[in-house]
Structure 1
Amino acid sequence: MTSALLTDLYELTMLEAAREAGTASRRCVFEVFTRSLPEGRRYGALAGTGRVLDAIAGFRFDDADLRYLRGAGVLTEETLEHLAEFRFAGDVHGYAEGELYFPNSPVLRIEGTFENAVLLETVVLSILNHDSGVASAGSRMITAARGRPCIEMGGRRVHEDAAIAAARAAYLVGFASTSNLAAGAHYRVPVAGTAAHAFTLLFDGEEEAFRSQLASQGAGTTVLVDTYDVEQAVRTAVELAGPELGAVRLDSGDLGEQAVQVRALLDSLGATGTRITATGDLDEHRVEELKDVPLDGYGIGTKLVTGGGHPAPGFVYKLVEREGADGTMQPVGKRSASKATLGAGKAAYRMRVGGRAHAELVLPGEEEVAEFERELTAELTSGTSHPDWARTSLRPLQQPLILGGELVETLRAPERVEAARIRHAESVAELGIAADDGPDGPVAIPTITDGTEAARLLG
């Protein structure tokens, strides 16, 4: 299956109308950004870029696609012939996957002719909105977990294909493993899983169920202990497995109170190395509440894979610059209330002071960037500058992803995910947010759209 029909009809009708008007070949710049973050979110986590690149590479109309469109009767034969030859031939620049984003961060910039670039809107937004929604929620959960490993286990709560993408996004932001085998096979995400309540209920007694699980999976397995009576289940499991029992899992009830009781019981039975894992409709706020409880890990599903209450971060795909009738590039943008768009293609930098993220610098056009760099240099050489200027640096955020229709990097899917996982950890560390700050708070750094405002921020 190609990715060409993962789009909205109006992308094709716009293309047809532009071709008939003679404007389809005008050079254009589109940008992907979100106007705001959900309330309480300090940052967003970008995920899905690797999947976007694959979708663009596979965006072509095969015979089956064209037969469907011809039968739908919505396009002319001339347009269908054009689509038969379609290949994206433009450039794509963007933030590295795993990077953090803030309001108005241009996480993706697509350059090409209108007819070449407009068709990508829906598939790009579909992937980035889904994957970044999961990643943004998951990153908060990882911070709240304070180093305790988290398992992604939400595959039964979303569409089967979305489950794979969600597992990928969760691993990218720090989850240790997934229960989803397809994600393990395609992206090499570590997989984890032992037994559910159904396994215990299959047997005539809990002891028989535990004995069978231990015989099959070994003493290092994780035993689910809340099917009947938690205390009795723990005693039975330790009696059968000995102190080498790997872990017990709590899935219901007052997890905090039970964890304290189970830890004391395990220790009294000599199973001091047996871990306690908690599952059961957890999110970052619940994990935060459990921070002082003797738990060793979390299994998180529904609240993760559905974006923690914000399944779509609100990414939009907007035309910000286009070729005019005179052949020059001209900034364009909406002026409507609450949805105004800053025109022109933009460069983005993470402004750091002493290695700590200080602002998101988003400047329209090369001259704005050059002006700020000149001002920074002048301040550093004046001898009277604010002391923070000497510790200031700009980290470029955009990098070439596709040039002339060809992918710049050729990493395999698992390698892309590992690189993004490292990038995300580094970007979060750069913010300096501590787990004790709690999940919610103001946006971590401001987005600045002109160089003089950046100077005022330091002064």
Structure 2
Amino acid sequence: MIQAALASGHADRRCVFEAFARRLPDGRRYGVVAGTGRALEALRDFRFGEEELTFLADRQVVDGRTLDWLADYRFTGDIWGYAEGEIYFPGSPLLVVESSFAEGVILETLFLSILNHDSAVASAASRMTAVAHGRPCIEMGSRRTHEAAAVGAARAAYLAGFASTSNLEAGRRHGLPTMGTAAHSYTLLHDDERSAFATQLASLGLSTTLLVDTYDVTGAVELAVELAGAELGGVRLDSGDLVSQAFEVRAQLDRLGATDTRIVVTSDLDEYAIAALQAAPVDAYGVGTQVVTGSGHPAAGMVYKLVSRENGAGQLEGVAKASKDKTSVGGRKYALRRRSALGVASAEIVGINEHPDDDGDDRSLLVPLVASGEVVAPTDVQTARAHHEQARAELPLPALRLSHGEPALPTTYLDDWS
């Protein structure tokens, strides 16, 4: 496309691209914007070096003029978007890229690959932390996804309220709290459970968490307290009927005097399993496969479309797809979260080529991310985590239900608003 646009003289035509989701995954009531910080950091380093240019030349992917353009590529435009951690709905203009056609179109895969993955993980993680009601969730999904995606998934889960991750690279790279427990292989390494527990306690201290379901849970809990006493940090359950086992283990720990010992549960948990465990005496949830794969929806379904272009008179005019089932809305968008006097969100209002009016209680959603090619927004996950907590707190209570339903807020374009 860039080669053809350079040849036609349209490569430098001013354009506006937008990233948005046409719909939420079936049954979901809201989505979470995640990956924006990673995308902005990637944009800073988005260059075509000698190796990339040589590959394109050797394969004759593009001509010499395009190679020269790629060699000098630097994004010089402006980008607006929803703050990372923000709640979104169908049609929300999550990213607004204002630049030449060539500068903007080349960013499509870079942005969508990050936003679609991270937003899917964060949207699932937010549902999990919402139903956990303050009990910590631990991200443990690295073994269930690509090794690079695992780091991004840990970041996205933390953004949406997870307390920690077992991925140490995510901890190193993004400053996330890290936590983990021993696996069954550690117990099986030893001649018996007693020696396995004893060596773990001797090396890691009484605050460690012992995995108690390798053989017999009741016997393992009794042995754990015998060896560690009332100071035992925690026990982990990874199989069976977790609800009934949690009650049985809690009662046993209390009888043995280990009243402060935590119970951590794992075993293919998702938001529904976490909700079912709310009545049980569980202290923390370890979540793996379901969070890193978006709990059944591994991509957020976001698209990146041209919505405005410069016309012959030098003015921006809206353009839109009209193809069946994949329509888009032309024109540069401006978004506002309509809220009640009590701060409860009621609607997503999107203006086309104009800002929606704030009635005094509302909140503008688009913030500057890049100005003249320079990143101007924070890219750290702590800022995004804090924003998500505030944005989710604005939602009406039905938005947090796990039952199937329509998006919690309607997205209304300004021309339709009255």
| Category of TM-score, reference length = shorter chain | over 0.9
Matched, 1:139 2:126: yes
Matched, 1:428 2:392: yes
Deviation per residue, 1:221-254 (Å, 9 max, x gap):
1000000000000000000000111110000111
Does the 8 Å contact 1:129/1:315 carry over to 2? yes
- The CA deviation at 1:433 is 2.5
Matched, 1:240 2:227: yes
Distance 1:338 1:450 in 2: 22
Distance 1:138 1:222 in 2: 24
Matched, 1:356 2:324: no
1:92 aligns with 79
Amino acid at match of 2:375: L
- The CA deviation at 1:434 is 6.7
Deviation per residue, 1:245-292 (Å, 9 max, x gap):
111000011111111110111111011111111000000011111110
- The CA deviation at 1:57 is 1.2
Q: Residue 295 of structure 2: SS of its match in structure 1?
A: coil
- The CA deviation at 1:442 is 2.6
Amino acid at match of 2:393: A
Does the 8 Å contact 1:144/1:435 carry over to 2? no
Does the 8 Å contact 2:29/2:399 carry over to 1? no
Q: Residue 296 of structure 2: SS of its match in structure 1?
A: coil
Amino acid at match of 1:430: E
The alignment yields a C-alpha RMSD, in angstroms, of: 1.4
Where structure 1 has 5 or more consecutive residues not aligned to the other structure, the ranges are: 1-13, 377-391
1:49 aligns with 36
Q: Residue 350 of structure 1: SS of its match in structure 2?
A: strand
Distance 1:164 1:424 in 2: 19
1:385 aligns with none
Q: Within 5 A, what are the aligned runs for 1:105-184? A: 105-184=92-171
Q: Residue 308 of structure 1: SS of its match in structure 2?
A: helix
Does the 8 Å contact 1:28/1:111 carry over to 2? yes
Amino acid at match of 2:181: T
Does the 8 Å contact 1:135/1:172 carry over to 2? yes
Deviation per residue, 1:318-355 (Å, 9 max, x gap):
00000012211110000112111110010001110121
Q: Residue 132 of structure 1: SS of its match in structure 2?
A: helix
> Where is the helix percentage greater, Structure 1 or Structure 2?
1
TM-score of the two chains, using structure 1 as the length reference: 0.89
1:39 aligns with 26
Distance 2:415 2:332 in 1: 16
Amino acid at match of 1:76: D
1:393 aligns with 361
Q: Within 5 A, what are the aligned runs for 1:365-444? A: 365-366=353-354, 369=356, 372=357, 393-409=361-377, 411=378, 416-433=380-397, 437-438=401-402, 440-444=404-408
Does the 8 Å contact 2:15/2:100 carry over to 1? yes
* Segment of structure 1 superposing worse, 109-118 or 432-441: 432-441
Distance 1:435 1:240 in 2: 46
4+ residue segments displaced more than 3 Å: 434-441
How many aligned positions are there?
417
- The CA deviation at 1:451 is 5.6
2:300 aligns with 313
- The CA deviation at 1:83 is 0.8
Does the 8 Å contact 1:223/1:247 carry over to 2? yes
1:447 aligns with 411
Does the 8 Å contact 1:242/1:271 carry over to 2? yes
Distance 2:29 2:165 in 1: 26
Q: Within 5 A, what are the aligned runs for 1:142-291? A: 142-291=129-278
Does the 8 Å contact 1:140/1:439 carry over to 2? no
Does the 8 Å contact 1:143/1:435 carry over to 2? no
Q: Residue 210 of structure 1: SS of its match in structure 2?
A: helix
Deviation per residue, 1:97-119 (Å, 9 max, x gap):
00000000001000100011110
Does the 8 Å contact 2:130/2:400 carry over to 1? no
1:382 aligns with none
Distance 2:337 2:396 in 1: 14
Q: Residue 313 of structure 2: SS of its match in structure 1?
A: coil
Distance 1:136 1:130 in 2: 10
Does the 8 Å contact 2:398/2:408 carry over to 1? no
Distance 2:60 2:241 in 1: 59
Distance 2:385 2:261 in 1: 29
- The CA deviation at 1:432 is 3.4
Q: Residue 393 of structure 1: SS of its match in structure 2?
A: coil
Identity over aligned pairs, percent: 55
- The CA deviation at 1:56 is 1.2
Matched, 1:299 2:286: yes
- The CA deviation at 1:440 is 4.2
Where structure 2 has 5 or more consecutive residues not aligned to the other structure, the ranges are: none
Distance 1:437 1:444 in 2: 10
TM-score of the two chains, using structure 2 as the length reference: 0.97
Distance 1:172 1:269 in 2: 38
Q: Residue 256 of structure 1: SS of its match in structure 2?
A: helix
Matched, 1:30 2:9: no
Matched, 1:64 2:32: no
Distance 1:257 1:61 in 2: 57
Distance 1:42 1:262 in 2: 36
Change (3 A) 1:258 1:219: same
